[in-house]
Amino acid sequence: MSERNTPRLETERLILRRFTREDIPVIYEMMSDPQVNKFVPCRLGSIKDAEQYFEDNYAGVYRGTTGCAYGICLKDSGRVIGYIGVKPGEPWDLGYGLRPEFWRQGYVSEAARAVIGLMREQGLPYVTATHDVENPASGRVMRAAGMEYKYTYHEFWEAGDRWVWFRMYQLDLNGENGTYMGYWEKYPEHRIEENLD
């Protein structure tokens, strides 16, 4: 299987590598943790769920030509502390999660900058990311990675069975793109906020 869309990356403190089937127990541990997934539309209930999640969200990406999916690992120990990736296809959405004991240490911003650099090298026109307004820390990660806030939209989050205001961020990678308006056009309730925290 080619590593054309998810090659191994290194940063000052991290190794970003592909998940393998051997990581399924780690994937289950992270994706079943209510703290890790409080604002993410996924919570796995069993190892079998994690196996299917691996096939759908990692193996599937690795077979493709765009997007990427990484385990975030500490360089000094190799321990998997989170995940990060860009979904294939427009709007090339960046998503991530991190074990709670590693929050507020800049790991996700560091990983995001590396992934965004890879997406630029691979010719993506831009990258987007969204976060629940009740999770402003995620917006700070997006800004630290160089992304700019564009607008906020109201979506019914089926996994959480509630309405959520999401903030949409974007980073233009080639200097030729306007704002991605897909969410704005899809969801009739939207706004532009001045104060983000």
Residue-range definition of the domain harbouring residue 115:
9-191
Share of the chain above pLDDT 70, in %: 91
Residues in the chain: 197
| Residue 29 β-bridge partners | none
Examine residue 101 and state whether it is found in any structural domain, yes or no.
yes
pLDDT digits (tens, 9 = 90+) for 102-126: 999 999 999 999 999 999 998 999 9
Does residue 178 lie in a domain region? yes
**What percent of the chain lies above the pLDDT cut of 90?**
68
State how many domains the chain has.
Answer: 1
Between 31 and 189, name the one with better pLDDT.
Answer: 189
CATH number at residue 104: 3.40.630.30
pTM (2 d.p.): 0.91
In a domain, 197, yes or no: no
Residues 132-153 have a mean pLDDT of 93
In a domain, 116, yes or no: yes
Q: Is residue 3 in some structural domain?
A: no
Q: Model confidence over 8-32: pLDDT tens digits?
A: 999 999 999 999 999 999 998 888 8
Asked whether residue 1 is domain-assigned, the answer is no
The answer as to whether 92 is a domain residue is yes
